[in-house]
Structure 1
Amino acid sequence: MTHRDEAAAVRPLTLAWVSRHLEAGERIVGCEALHGGITAEMRRLTIGTRDGGTRALVLRTFVNRERAEDCLNREACALTLLAGTGVPAPGLVAADPAAAHCEYLSLLMTHLAGRTVLGDEGLETRVPALARQLVAIHALRPAERPRGYVARTTAETVVVPKGADAAAWAAAIDVIRRPAPPWEGRFLHRDFQPGNVLFDVSPARPAEARITGVVDWAAASWGPADLDVAHCSANLALLHGPEWGLRFPEAYEEAGGVSAAAASERLYWLVRDALALSEEVRRVSQPWREAGRAELTTRAVEERLDAYVTALMDTHG
């Protein structure tokens, strides 16, 4: 495949739009699809520079119009707020929030080094690193707050997996029927989980993994820190087993994070996010399988979710 053929994978109007945001003398010489995105198509663009070298940009294309404008605006706002903060996030290059220039709503950003790591090996190092990074995000006090968080489930929309512990799930659903506990606002990533964190890690030395980037800020919000903790906990439980979901809140506090004071309040957020994932098990597990975790079938993930919800209710309920 030639460089010209690869560049043609970008739709014509979008290709022209990207080209207008390059430096003088630069051009697109390569295009590679990035896997793992759920809300949008992702492409890594190789840019030929004037001096004969290359650099990389990432093009995010929201082909699904549902919530696309909100997602793009949240991400563009977040990347602007994060510039210069020390949080390793992409830099915003350009945005087309109304598809005025591209075929679909599009966002262009800088490319970060590193890769996602979804395997079990090296978890003892990566989980504390994830916790430290999340504490750093929550410590930000932007001059302009992002939009408020969106709750992603209700007691009526929870999908109880086949064969699940009925009593545990009924008790968990009752938890989220209550009003949300009082909370102190923090800057949230809102989808902070291993699939959105990049690491520099050698296969020979997985214990030396170092975070190089945090991506996918399309749900960035203002809300309770416990909600980000709960989301990462639930994803760790589904990827690596319930014990890792239970471990993450402890790691967050060990890293200096502050959770809700009362156990019942912490349980509310942990359960809310776990139950929200019940509605999208198939959607979240597919990218994991594409990334090499073939054993994480929809059924296997449902079973882990059941075990995690049951463990939450046994431990905190």
Structure 2
Amino acid sequence: MWPAGRERTARWVERSLPAGTRVIGGRPLRGGWTSEMWHLETVDAEGTRGGVVLRSLVREFFRRHAPGLLGREARVLELLAPGPVPAARLLAVDPTGEHADHPSLLMTFLPGGLRLGSRDGEPAEHLDHRLRLLARQLADIHRFEPAPADRPRTWQAWTAADRVRVPAGTGRPEVWRRAVEVIRRPPPEPSAYRPCFLHRDHHPGNVLFSGPPGGERITGVVDWVETSTGPADLDVAHCSSALALLHGADTGLGFADHYLREGGRELAAVPADRLYWYLVDALAFAPDAEKVAAVWRGVGRPDLTPERAADRLEEWLVALLERFDR
């Protein structure tokens, strides 16, 4: 079951489970790119079968940042445990890799699976149903208000104007130049928005669904390592970017309307501010969105080739500039 060299991790997991519970099998999970994820099958002393999920940070970049990433996720899972957001329950965390072979977090298993849409398209009402669920769930997350001492860190940008990598073969360099210039200015002042609790990585690849197409329900929200405090616009922008890559720019642009209809917070009233939040998110995918497209190809979207992902990212920038650059 375990890959070679994971003996310490196996022993740590066994020690972290409730007394009398042991691991009887497991399989790697797909759908993420920051972590190695495993679904471990368990059985307790009474013979009842169950499961847990193990997240391990094995790539060197993420290992270096593991204490902050896993420590933050552990704290967030503890905060969310008594509330209505369908998040896993924390079982154990080893943020430095002191006990396991890699920095790791152990949590309860959530049912359901990813629904990224069909490679051949799907009825519009099926996609619309999931969009409404995604928007409603995000609005619920933004309504969660931890005590002041428990608020997550202030949001951080994942790119900056001088770090954006423009695709070498683009036929529209002026689009990239205009987009980069937007995020070269300082972000909107905190006085321009009411900070809230952000998932910070809310998108279809981090939401689990159960049920038939067109009648799904959300059974879990995962990946809380980047949870932050900041403007609701930023979470809306990130989910919109992912939807634009998966389904096209029109779908991305429409997500904010779903969010507002489902009871979300007021978004920035100034078009320039809306554009900033959208672009500071979208440009973090540059130059081609391949880092997420490669993962999505492995979980049911082989149509998202590197070329198609790159084209959709550029089309997303064009759509945003046309809508908000006034």
Instruction: Indicate if the aligned counterparts of 1:157 and 1:279 stay in contact, CA closer than 8 A.
Output: no
Aligned counterparts of 1:66 and 1:237: Cα–Cα separation in 2? 31
Instruction: Indicate if the aligned counterparts of 2:35 and 2:56 stay in contact, CA closer than 8 A.
Output: yes
Segments of 5+ residues of structure 1 without an aligned counterpart are 1-5
Aligned to 2:268: 260
Deviation track 1:180-234 (CA, whole Å, cap 9, x = no partner) reads 00232111111100000000122xxx11111110001111111111111000000
| Moved >3 Å (runs of 4+) | 7-10
By how many angstroms is 1:165 displaced?
2.3
Q: Which among 262, 266, 269 is matched to residue 277 of structure 2?
A: 269
User: Which residue identity does 2:95 align to in structure 1?
Assistant: P
Q: 1:136 to 1:27 in 2, by over 3 A?
A: same
**Counterparts of residues 1-317 of structure 1 (less than 5 Å):** 6=1, 11-64=6-59, 65-120=63-118, 121=122, 122-143=126-147, 144-161=150-167, 162-182=169-189, 183-202=193-212, 206-257=213-264, 258-279=266-287, 281-317=289-325
User: Which residue identity does 1:140 align to in structure 2?
Assistant: F
What TM-score comes out, normalization by structure 1 length? 0.94
Percent of pairs with identical residues: 47
Alpha-carbon RMSD across the aligned residues, in angstroms, is 1.4
Q: 1:279 to 1:69 in 2, by over 3 A?
A: farther
By how many angstroms is 1:252 displaced?
1.0
Segments of 5+ residues of structure 2 without an aligned counterpart are none
By how many angstroms is 1:283 displaced?
1.3
**Most deviating of 276-285 and 142-151:** 276-285
Deviation track 1:120-166 (CA, whole Å, cap 9, x = no partner) reads 43211001110010000011110110112121111112122322422
Aligned counterparts of 1:198 and 1:223: Cα–Cα separation in 2? 24
Aligned counterparts of 1:67 and 1:224: Cα–Cα separation in 2? 24
Instruction: Indicate if the aligned counterparts of 2:22 and 2:42 stay in contact, CA closer than 8 A.
Output: yes
Q: 1:27 to 1:189 in 2, by over 3 A?
A: same
User: Which residue identity does 2:208 align to in structure 1?
Assistant: L
What TM-score comes out, normalization by structure 2 length? 0.91
By how many angstroms is 1:239 displaced?
0.6
